[in-house]
Amino acid sequence: MTLTTPAPATPDRAARPDRRPWFMLAVLLLGQFMALLDVTVVNVAMTDIRTDLHASGAALQLVVSGYTVGYAMLLITGARLGELFGRRRLFVTGVVTFTVCSLLCGLAPGAGFLIVARIAQGAGAALMMPQVISVIQAQFTGAARAKALSAYTAVISVAFVAGQVLGGVLVGADLFGTGWRPVFLVNVPIGVLVAVLAVKLLPGSVAKAGRRLDLAGLAIAVPAVVLAVLPLVLGHETGWPAWTFVSMAVGALLAVVFVVVERRVADPLVDLAVLRIRGVAPGLATLATGVASYGGFLFCVSLHLQSGLGKTAMAAGLAMAPGGIVFGLCGFFWNRLPRRVHGWLTPCGYVGSAVAYALLGLGSDGGTLFFVALVLFGLSMGPAFGSLMVNALTHVPLERAADVSGLLTTTLQLGQVVGVATFGSLFLTLAATSSATALTTTMTCAAALLLAGAGLSLRR
């Protein structure tokens, strides 16, 4: 009888790194990119949607903001649901919901149908997005985690700009005479691909024994976020009527009630004790200032390029693309810099970005100084944002990943909403007289906010 044994692995094969986690990360980030893209991709299609669906101005505003409102409703909840019912299950559920709703948006027969589909689309994104950070925390450690988080931040920076460019290209192409509809339909094949690959590549998990969903916290968190976000996204369009201020006040009151409830329940929706973990609280505060200024920057500069300088939506998106690309590259490769400077990347990057904002105001004519400022912003904010994410999450234990993920994604989204609402309202008010003056003023205010963020980043 002859015994056969498997041939020993060759040295090259034995040393070959396991690429499965990186393929998994690519799938997660593709889903994240798709969800973030839809925040801005619809902006350039507004004129066509108004004409085709005979939509009113308020309806158009809801088409844009409905996605944000739906997203905000489940932001905090998404991470906890992933921990309780499995991150793969929640990610795939979110992708499928997002994809189906994208199809419904693309086939919408009227404005009301489109608004409802956009809200549901945002809810799907809210189930999907928090799982990305949670999986990164669970599946990557050390230098690999830093690299994965750098890729995460790079996708965030590029997606918002890419949405404006892609939206302009698709609307301008008018594929098969469908006008604005490919802006949503393009998500369908991508979403199907992401869902299929996620089922194969994401690790499965089961519900934690003895843990239950905090229904009391959920019942307070959802209306609190909606009541705070809705007036921010609709306030300027509606002229800031009394209900917007009442809504924000009630939302703030519910937020306080939420904190009180979460401190008393056995299984809170968000364990606020994570804020005592080294780096988390100052990291989230610094992140909030950076995201708020970035959201205002994208909104105001895009408006100035179109309404002030007369560029088309696609031309405006392309004008901002170089800065976005530099942002993404620097946000991914920042850890190649010497380790001794890593602790200073965020404060120095925020200061550099503040200088870039000031230069944007001075170069409001769209000339050379304008583009130099955009590139300087990418060079500064890319490393700052990438290192900030790593430093804020370095000391978070795996069992707290869901709590921090919920707080992180909420900070990212609400920070952007607040930035667009505050800086956008200021810009639109001043732009009635002069778009150049409006840009200079808003960018000066955004620079001041970044300098405050630089100070917060020094508190570790």
Torsion of CA 438, 441, 447, 452, to 10 degrees: -120
- Where among 266, 290, 307 does a domain terminate? 266
Establish if 12 belongs to a structural domain: no
| Residues 40, 45: Cα–Cα separation, whole Å | 10
Closest listed residue to residue 270, CA positions, set 79, 18, 4: 79
Q: Domain check: are 153 and 248 in the same one? A: no
Q: Domain check: are 235 and 310 in the same one? A: no
Locate 288 and state its tokens. Answer: 């909030």
- Where among 203, 223, 249 does a domain terminate? 203
Closest listed residue to residue 378, CA positions, set 322, 440, 444, 451: 322
Locate 254 and state its tokens. Answer: 């519910």
Establish if 359 belongs to a structural domain: yes
Q: Domain check: are 431 and 302 in the same one? A: yes
Structural domain for 277, as ranges: 271-459
Predicted local distance difference test score (pLDDT) of residue 9: 47
- Where among 203, 227, 245 does a domain terminate? 203
Backbone φ and ψ for 105, nearest 5 degrees, come out as -60, -45
| Number of domains within the chain | 3
Q: What is the pTM of this model?
A: 0.79
Which domain CATH number covers 419? 1.20.1250.20
Q: Domain check: are 406 and 302 in the same one? A: yes
Q: Specify the higher pLDDT residue, 3 or 41.
A: 41
Lowest average pLDDT, out of 115-124, 126-135, 262-271, goes to 262-271
- 287-326 per-position pLDDT tens digit: 999 989 988 888 888 888 878 888 876 777 788 888 888 8
One-letter identity of residue 122: G
Q: Domain check: are 122 and 43 in the same one? A: yes
User: Taking the CB of residue 260, how many other CB atoms lie within 10 A of it?
Assistant: 9
H helix intervals, 140-214: 142-173, 182-185, 187-201
Q: Domain check: are 242 and 300 in the same one? A: no
| Residues 184, 170: Cα–Cα separation, whole Å | 10
Dihedral sign for Cα atoms in the order 234, 239, 241, 244: positive
DSSP conformation letters of 381-411:
HHHHHHHHHHHHHTT--GGGHHHHHHHHHHH
Q: Domain check: are 236 and 303 in the same one? A: no
Q: Domain check: are 122 and 196 in the same one? A: yes
User: Taking the CB of residue 195, how many other CB atoms lie within 10 A of it?
Assistant: 20
Q: Domain check: are 119 and 250 in the same one? A: no
Q: Domain check: are 248 and 299 in the same one? A: no
Spatial contact of 75 and 410, defined as CB atoms under 8 Å apart: yes
Dihedral sign for Cα atoms in the order 452, 380, 414, 28: negative
- 182-205 per-position pLDDT tens digit: 989 999 999 999 999 999 988 876
Q: Specify the higher pLDDT residue, 147 or 270.
A: 147
- 127-174 per-position pLDDT tens digit: 998 888 888 878 887 778 878 888 888 887 788 777 877 877 787 777
CA geometry: angle at 440 spanning 434 and 441, to 5°? 90
Q: What percent of the chain has pLDDT over 90?
A: 27
Spatial contact of 117 and 444, defined as CB atoms under 8 Å apart: no
Establish if 399 belongs to a structural domain: yes
Average pLDDT, integer, range 264-278:
80
